[in-house]
Every structure is written in C-alpha cells, then in structure tokens.
Amino acid sequence: MTKNEDAVFMRVAEARIAQDPLNYYLMVRAYNSVHYWVNLASASYLLQNQAKLSRSASKFVTGLFLSFKAIILCFAIYGFYAAFKIKFISPIPSKYNELAGYFVLLGVVFVLMRTFLFAFYVNAVEFRYVTPAWPFVIFAAVFGMISIINQKRFFSST
C-alpha cells in the first residue's frame, strides 16, 4: 500500500471515529474483551483436527468447546468473587483459604491486566495472548467449584 492509499484509509477511519467515538473507544474494545476469552476462530488445535470432520460435526465440536469454555469462565468468575469475599468481606481463618485466596487474587490481577492490555489498550487480540492467563483462570474455576460445593445451602433441601 502506498502512502497516499494509506492516507485515504486513515481519513475514512478518522471520519468514522468522529461520527461515533463511543463505538470506537468503548464498544469495539468491550467486544474485543469478550472475544479475547471465547475466541475459537483462530484456535489452531481445533482447526487442524476439525478439517477432517463433516461441516455439521465441526459445528457441533465448536459449540461443545465454546460451551466448555463458557462454563470454565463462569466458574472462574465465581472463584474470583469467592476469593475476594474470603479475603476482604468475611475472612475465614484457614491456611488453605489464605494461600488459595492470595493465589486467586494474584490471578485476578494478572488476568485483568492482560485483558486490559490486549483488548482495550492495544486493541488487537489473538488467541495466543490468552494462553499465559489460562492457568490462573482454571485454578480460579476449580476454586469457584469448591466454594460452591462447600456452601451448606448448596446441599440443603430448602
């Protein structure tokens, strides 16, 4: 692309941003944040193996992975909440809760920093950028599942 062509595209982009700045500065980045965590389109481990499947089977497997990812992320969000609650809202004196809570809170900071950096600041998202944060997310999901199981009201017959 030449400098003149690049300048034309830049003027079009600037006009679109001026026309709807909220969309560019907030909505696109919010979409990128969600897409950052549930993106399956560039997951090479899926694409290479699904190339051999029929179209309907490939869609089914993609939906299965998306559902699995969504469940893990829901448990991780609850795990982040449970760790925050244990450490700051209603502290329970326990060595397990203290160490696990600190680790989960460290993971929250790491995950939020990476999400903010790539999805909001850089505004460029690739699947590989999420990989270093997944161990924290999976630990938080396990912590969230354990927190749910340990609640008395979970098993009560109310």
> Number of folded domains in the chain?
1
Q: Give the predicted TM-score (pTM) of the model.
A: 0.68
SS3 143: helix
* Residue 42: predicted pLDDT: 58
Q: What is the dihedral of CA 103, 106, 112, 115, to 10 degrees?
A: -80
140: its two tokens: 């938080």
* Residue 46: predicted pLDDT: 67
Domain containing 75 equals 3-155
* Residue 11: predicted pLDDT: 93
Burial label for 148, CB within 10 Å (0-12, 13-18, 19+), is middle
Number of Cβ within a 10 Å radius of residue 81: 16
Query: By the 8 A CB rule, do 140 and 80 touch?
Result: yes
* Residue 133: predicted pLDDT: 84
pLDDT beneath 70: ranges in the chain: 40-47, 90-98, 124-127, 152-158
